[in-house]
Structure 1
Amino acid sequence: MTSQNVGGVVSDICNVGYYGDDCDKTCPSNCENAGCMQANGTCIGNCKEGFYGSMCDLKCSSRIKNCIHCEVTDGKCLICENGLFGEDCRFTCPEQCETCESKDVCMTCKKGYFLLGNNCAKCLNNCKACRHYSECSECVQGRYGPTCGYTCPKQCLECKSADECTKCKVGYESTSRKCQCSHNCYREGDLDSWCSVDGNCSKGCIDGKTGVHCQTDCDDEKRCLRCQQFSKSCEQCVIGYYGKEHFCGKMCGNCLKESSGDIKCDIEDGNCPGACTLGFYNEQCKLQCAKNCDNTKGCEKITGKCVACKIGFFGKKCENSCSKNCFNGGCEQHDGYCNEGCIPGWYNNTCESTCNKGCKHQICDRMTAECSHGCENGYKGKYCEMDCLDGFFGSNCTKKCGYCLSSQPCDKKTGQCTEGCDKGYAGSECIIECLDGFHGSDCTKDCGYCLSSQPCDKKTGQCKEGCDKGYTGSECIIAHVPDVEEESTNLLFIIPVLIVTTVIVVIVIIVFCKYKNRRCSCMLYKNEHQTGSEQAQELNDRGIHDDERSDDNSDDDTLHSEEAKLHKADDDATESGREVDGRNFHRGGEVDGRNLRLGGEVDGRNLRRGGEVDNRK
């Protein structure tokens, strides 16, 4: 908004394009130069072409069809569309006229004509546009000159002269104002032989181009390095692609890279010329080897058969699982046989059959199932399928049971007597005989008081030779105290024994002294003054076996005869003593824990046979 002083009065004027008291309203868009009255917004001057009215908001064509410009006030048509005339544009101009006032008056001419008077005259034949017959402003293609009387060079579509082409024919390129064969034509030999008169490339196209003029790329993705000129069939693809008829639109498979590192495949079918990358197969190397193939060896290119399987699988494509009982888990690829044998407890080719439980360590021959390491304790037989018979145990049942209680069978595996041992034996297998002094089952009982500490019977505990003094019973474990009557009875047995013993000693001495007169008298003298016990003691000390020094065989016979008689008498006396009260009495034996000696004490009285009384010798 600007201010203006008119006659001393200052007023505001709106900027162009606006009106109103505050100049906040926009003039109508079709007002020419965007001007309008500030008071009411009516257009100042003319409307834009094609509109009329005070606000220039009405179309001329809405009132008169084909009218392109009309009076602002009333809409009367001033200019009709080209080729039409009249107030309502209903009439057509002559054919050669661009615009006209009437059928007889042309205002402008169409191209190829020039205005001659009120009419339009045709230009010369080769003129495309002219101002007069002799002045062509534009020639038809291929012609040049003031009257278009000259022909352009063959490569030129349009030219200014024989040496200056302004537009080249298809297949030719402008180079230094001249048209030459396209640079996409295969260039070999003379320049003019590269392409024909019409610009077609005579010898084909350079790599990557196709078409008669070699102006078209072989493919949009530029994967086809070289293609045929007229069919677009690719003859060479970029590395890693193929597809002769598909513009190299397909990618090669997993072909093994060449030494250069390039991946190449057949351009027509994509087949790999060599091997596949490890892990792929088929002719195009697009299929993956089976998942259970050994990753380090892959599979055969054509069939996909695994060269080797991962441990635990078999089959052409390793689709089958080895038996879980194969040793180390592996098996033969073609048949699944466990090539390293079976784990303990299994046999046959595929380790699917179980060894008998009796095989030692559960190991058996892989083919026959025989227990190759023998049997476990308690079993026997080639296959260890039989239990041991009662009374035997151990591997192959070769051991006999010990002395188990009541002859019960022992454990067939351990040999142990589960119920204990028979009398006289001990140990888990009952094969250890009781030590001396012990008896009974498991040797848990001590022997009784056997005579002279001799061992008792290890089974029954009985003392075979009788009991020590003071004990009785079969096992000599019952303490025994004799009464007075029993002591008297013992004396009745002892006295005859003493008498017989004394007689024997005397007879022996007499016989011996027959040849030893000096000694004999001495001995006889002493014998008269010695008790029987003293005589026996002296003979014992001196050793009556001096008779061995005798040289007289007849005397020896006499001595032996006498000794035999004495021994018989002694035995008779002893036998009679044994029958008393059913008890065994021994000569010189012990009774009731007290030592009874020859010449011992009875009932508090000293009985003496040629001995000393009252502690006198």
Structure 2
Amino acid sequence: MYGENCSLSCPQNCQESHCDILDGTCLGCNDGYIGPKCEDQCNAKTYGLECQRVCGNCRNGDPCHHVNGSCVNGCDKGTFGVKCDTACPNGKYGNNCQKQCNLNCGVKARCDRITGQCEGGCQTGWKGITCDKHCNGGTYGLNCNYSCGHCLDNKQCHYINGSCVNGCDSGYKGIDCKQVCNNNTYGPKCSMKCGNCLYLYGEQCHHVTGQCPRGCDVGFQGERCDQVPESAFFNFMSSNNVSILLYVCFAVLVLSCFLNCFFVFRRVKRKMCRRKKMSENVDEHADTNNKDEVRTKPPLKSLYERSKNNEYQELYEMPQKSFYDKF
């Protein structure tokens, strides 16, 4: 009480209702109030006794309760608790620490408690502050720093290893479709053969179109050098290939002579063998006949005996004709 005859009550927010007995100024204020008569609430994000305590991180920067410091609308990012004065534990972030750090963070499940930005960046194939997005736009790998190859229909490659799931575009091969066709091939799946290009320095046809970079070899025409003109034979004859043709003709002639000699020799040899065999058979037959004549031939008569029989006087009778005489 204060004033004349102590007829006035001390201000409501005076500490223990004590005030000056003359003018009614408070000897102290209750928590959350300030001023001579404790009529003003704490401001500038303070609360408590004589507004000496600082509010926590209330959502959107709102002031806390002037008496107990609680945040009526919740906590701002990175803190939790009634007064929003406790930092988020590891693996948590955001308003009232309600969000989980991403498992795709470089340091697994570790991030900034306010923004959620991953510590150590993102794992392979992920991007974004919180590493919650796949690599895209033709990129893959760590921090999405690598470019995809030539995937079929320009599709996105695998966000981690860069492989082309649906195959390669025309003219390319390999898991990541970064290798151009080689070994004189081109086109889809490198399944088509290059034409008859003019290879001066070992280059091949274009890996996509099959076109020859330095033109066509002798005797061929077209964008891919796979067409033979009507005059190709005459061009062939007038080129250096004439010598090759002569060599071929000479080789055929030599081979023909050799084969003819071989067959003539073989024929002569067969004739000689037949004659030899025939001669042996004749000799053998003659020997057999002579032996038979010797067995059946009568004894030779002397000249004296023949004279008695009024026969021609011969010392000996002539033998019969031999087998050779009959021939």
TM-score normalised by the shorter chain: which range applies? 0.3 to 0.5
Is the strand fraction higher in 1 or 2?
1
- Given the two structures, how large is their TM-score scaled by the length of structure 1? 0.27
Q: Taking CA–CA contacts closer than 8 Å with sequence separation of 6 or more, which of the two structures ends up with the larger relative contact order?
A: 2
Is the helix fraction higher in 1 or 2?
2
Higher radius of gyration, 1 or 2: 1
